[in-house]
Amino acid sequence: MPEVTIIKYNAGNVKSVMIALERIGASYLLSDDPEEILQAERIIFPGVGEASTAMASLRKNGLDQIIPTLTQPFLGTCVGMQLLCSSSEEGNVDCLNVFDIPIKKFPETTGFKIPQTGWNNIFDYNSEILNQIKPDSYVYYNHGFYAPLSKYTVAKTDYILEYSAMLQKDNFYACQFHSEISGDTGEQIFRNFLNIKI
């Protein structure tokens, strides 16, 4: 069994995730098969794209019913994180409700471009998946929607307002940034994820 199963659906920065895993010597499987996902050792749920379209793709294969029930270590990135929340203002769609918080659109604010694209720092860490990450490390973002601060927030970012850079609930971990292209910081997050025991 590969160390990581990557969920295949109609929104994924899959190639970059594969390259990141190869770089740290991790084996992986790309799958949209519910049985393979249920049997996976640990799961990465990548995301690039639009929330309502991505949710439609998950529903097509019944993955919307399976994902919230999973008990193995699970890491969502970017849109993958947003889909784990209760709903998204992007397409006004109901999502997976692992984290019972809504995804909001950034407010239009003078001096800030939307989407946020580029490097920004994270702070106020509170999770084992961020072990050995230096304070105020920089990661790469590309998004116009955000998760508000909540009881699930385990790292923060500030752009227009403070919001959740990372969320955690039980076995579910999620990052708004693209950990797969966030340099040494993203690589360490992947290494930490591979070491998580549930």
Catalytic machinery residues: 78, 178, 180
Contact 133, 65 (CB under 8 A): no
Short-list 35, 1, 28, 24, CA closest to 12: 28
- Structure-token pair, residue 133: 């990450």
Which helix (H) or strand (E) segment holds residue 139: the answer is: strand 138-143
Contact 148, 165 (CB under 8 A): no
The 3-state DSSP class for residue 33 equals: coil
- Structure-token pair, residue 67: 């994902």
- Structure-token pair, residue 156: 């923060």
* Whole-angstrom distance, CA of residue 112 vs CA of residue 93: 26
Short-list 68, 110, 63, CA closest to 85: 68
Helix 183-195 and helix 14-23: axis angle, to 10°?
80
